[in-house]
Amino acid sequence: MTSALSKRNELPEKYTWNLLSVYPDDDAWEEAIATMLARLDRAVEYRGKLNSPANLADFLALSEEIYQLLGRIYVYGGLPSNTDTNDQKALANMDRIRGLFGRALAGLAFAQPELIAIGFETLRTWMAGDERLALYAHQFDRLERQQEHVRSGEVEEILGMVTDVFATMNATHEVLANGELVFDPAAGRDGATYPVTQSTIRAVLGHPDRALRRSSYEHYADTHLAYKNTMANALSAGVKADVFMARARGYADSLEAALKSNFIPAAVFHNLLDTFQKNLPTWHRYWALRRQALGVEQLFEYDLKAPLSRGTREIPYEQGVDMIAAGMAPLGTEYVSILRRGCLEERWVDVLPNEGKRMGAFSSGSKGTHPFIMMSYTPDLQGVSTLAHELGHSMHSYYTNREQPIMSYTEYGLFAAEVASNFNQALVRAHLLETEPDPEFQIALIEEAMSNFHRYFFIMPTLARFELEIHRRVEQGQALPAGDLIKLMADLFGEGYGSELVVDEERVGITWAEFHTHLYSNFYVYQYATGISAAHALADRVLHGPAGAADDYLAFLKAGGSRYPLEVLQLAGVDMASPEPVEKTFAVLASYVDRLADLLARRGADHS
C-alpha cells in the first residue's frame, strides 16, 4: 500500500481507459450533441403522425440514432466525472448530459401513447408486412404488457422532463460523497499514516494492521456521520421521487413499479429475502470462525476484511488478466481473446486509483463503444476478483451490442447483468482452487469468495430490506430523519451479525449513506443477490453439467434484452422463478465456510 495517491495526469496512459476511441476530441463531442439535437427535432415532427407503417418505421429508426448518439455522448463526456470528482469541467459535462437525456425522454414521450392508440393487433399486421418494423416485435410486446401504466402524451412528456430534476438528489449525494468529503488519514501501529479515500478504503480495510483498519473504518464512517442530515435529506427526496413515479403510473407501490416494469415476479423478491433470513445462521457461523481465526475476543466490522492468510502474493494487473483468461477458458478461445484484447490492447479498463477517483467499480458503455471499466485495481486476489466481475459485465455488453440490432435490445437490465459478473468470479475462483494447491493461497481464495459473498449475499439483501422499509414509510406519509435511518440500518445489520459481532450503532447504521448510487435506483440492490445465485448455478452447469452448457451461456450473453429476464436466464439453464438457486447458493456459501474451517484447522495442527 502506498502512502500517497497519484494525480490523474500522472498515471501511465496504458492504465487509463481510451475514451478517445469514442470521439477524437471535444469538438467532435460537441458536434455529436448538435447532431443528436437535430435528430431529436426531426423526431418530434412525427408527433401525431405514427399512423402508417412507413412513418412508424422511419420514426423508430430515428429514435435509434438519437439514443445511440446519447450513449456515445455519455461515455465520452460523462465517464471522466468518475475518475476525477474534482474536475469541474467533467462535472459540468455530466450535468449537461443528464439534461440531454431528460430532453430526449420528454421529446419522444408521445410515441408510446400513440402506439397504444394504434392497437397491438394493427401493429402485428404492420410488422408482418414491413421487415423494418419486425425488428421491434419484442419491444412492442413489452409495451403491450405495460400499457396500463403508460399515460397520455402530455403526461409522459412531463414525466420525461422531471427525470433530470429527480436525478439531482442522487447527484447531490454523489458529489458530496465522492468530491467533497475529506477523510482523516488512517494511522497504523507504527505511527505511519495512510490516505483514506473512496478509491482506497477497501484496500485499507483489508490490511493486517488492526489499528490501521480501525482508524480507517472510524474515520470513513465518522465523516459520513458528520453529513448525515444532508445525506438523509437527499435520500428522502430520492425515495419520494420513487413514490411519485409509482403513483403517477398507477402502480400499487414503489416495489410493484420496480418489479413489474422490469417483468420480474414479486415472488422473486420475497423469496430472496425469506431465504436470506432463514440462512442467517450460516453467516453467524462464519463470523464465529473469523473471530476465532483472528484471535480476538470481540469482532468488529473493521475485522470483516482482515486477512486470515499468512503472507500475500502480489498479483500485478497483467498477471491478473492471465488468471482471469485461464479461468474463463471453458467459454472458448473467442471469449478469452476478446477479453485479453480489451484489457491489454484496447484499454477498456481504467486501472489505478488516483486523487479524486470515485469509490467502487463499474462497467459502462454503449452500442458503438468499448465496454469501459472503472476500478482501482489492487495487486491481490481481491483486485483480480473485482476485475473478473467487471469483465463479466463488459463481455455481456460486448456480445449483446455485437449481436442485437437495436438499442432497446442491448439494455439487458441489472437482473441479468449481475449474473454475468458473478459468473466470471465463480469460474475464475473454481479454476484457482483447482490449480493452486498452496494452503495459504487456498485460504486467501476462500477469503476473497467470502468477501464477495459478504457484499452480494449479505450487505445487498440487508440493504434491500432497508429499502423496502423506507419506501413503506414514505408511502405511509412518514419522514426519514437521519436518526431513524441509522437505527433501522443498525437493527437490520445487528440481526445479520448475531451475537458474534459488536455493532457500533452509529457507524454501522450510517452504512446506507455509503451506498449513494444503489439506493437511488428504486429496488436495485436485491438483484445483486439474485444475480450471484443464478451465476453459481450456471457456473456449476458449465463446469460439471451437460455438453453444450457453455454455448447456452454464450447464447444468454448474446440475447441481451431481446427476451424477458427470466426467459433469457432459462435460455442459459437456470429458473429464477424458483427459490432453489438461492438455496443452492447458500449451500455453496456453507461449503466455503466448511473448507475454510478445515484449512485453518490443518494449519493449526501443523503448527502445534
pLDDT, one tens digit per residue, over 192-246 is 899 998 878 888 898 999 999 999 999 999 999 999 999 999 999 999 999 999 9
Calculate the alpha carbon distances from 531 to 218, 272, 360 in Å.
31, 11, 18
- Per-residue pLDDT averaged across 143-154, rounded? 93
Q: How far apart are CA 172 and CA 168, in angstroms?
A: 6
Give per-residue pLDDT as tens, 86-139. 899 999 999 999 999 999 999 999 999 999 999 999 999 999 999 999 999 999
Active site residue 500: no
- Mean confidence (pLDDT) of the chain: 94
Task: Tell me the whole-structure pTM to 2 decimals.
Answer: 0.88
Q: Is 473 left (phi over 0), alpha (psi -120 to 50) or beta?
A: alpha
Predicted confidence at residue 480, as pLDDT, reads: 97
- Mean pLDDT over 563-582 rounds to 94
> At 160, is the pLDDT very low, low, confident or very high (cuts 50, 70, 90)?
confident
Q: What average pLDDT score do residues 579-604 get?
A: 93
- 179 falls in which pLDDT band (50, 70, 90)? confident
Candidate list 156, 301, 390, 418, residue with the active-site label? 390
Strand pairing category for 372-374 and 186-187: unpaired
φ, ψ of residue 374 in degrees (nearest 5): -110, 130
* 247-280 pLDDT per residue, tens: 999 999 999 999 999 999 999 999 999 999 999 9
What confidence tier does 1 reach under pLDDT thresholds 50, 70, 90? Answer: very low
Q: Is the pLDDT of residue 516 over 90?
A: no
pLDDT confidence of 607, banded at 50, 70, 90? low
pLDDT of 339 above 80: yes
Mean pLDDT of 325-353: 98
Q: What's the first-to-final CA gap in the chain, in angstroms?
A: 32
pLDDT at 3 over 70: no
What is the mean predicted confidence (pLDDT) over 376-382? 92
Residue 540 C-alpha cell reads as 456449476
**What's the pLDDT at 571?**
92
pLDDT at 377: 94
Residue 388, pLDDT > 60, answer: yes
Spatial CB neighbours of 445, under 8 Å, sequence gap ≥ 6 = 381, 429, 432, 433, 436
Give the integer Cα–Cα distance in Å for 307 and 81.
33
Nearest 10 degrees: Cα torsion 501, 310, 383, 459: -10
Torsion angle, alpha carbons of 84, 88, 93, 98, to 10? 90
pLDDT digits (tens, 9 = 90+) for 466-492: 999 999 999 999 999 999 999 999 999
Average pLDDT over residues 417-422: 94
Q: Assign 3-class secondary structure to 519-531.
A: HHCCCCCHHHHHH
Amino acid, res. 495: E
Count of positions (residues) in the chain: 608
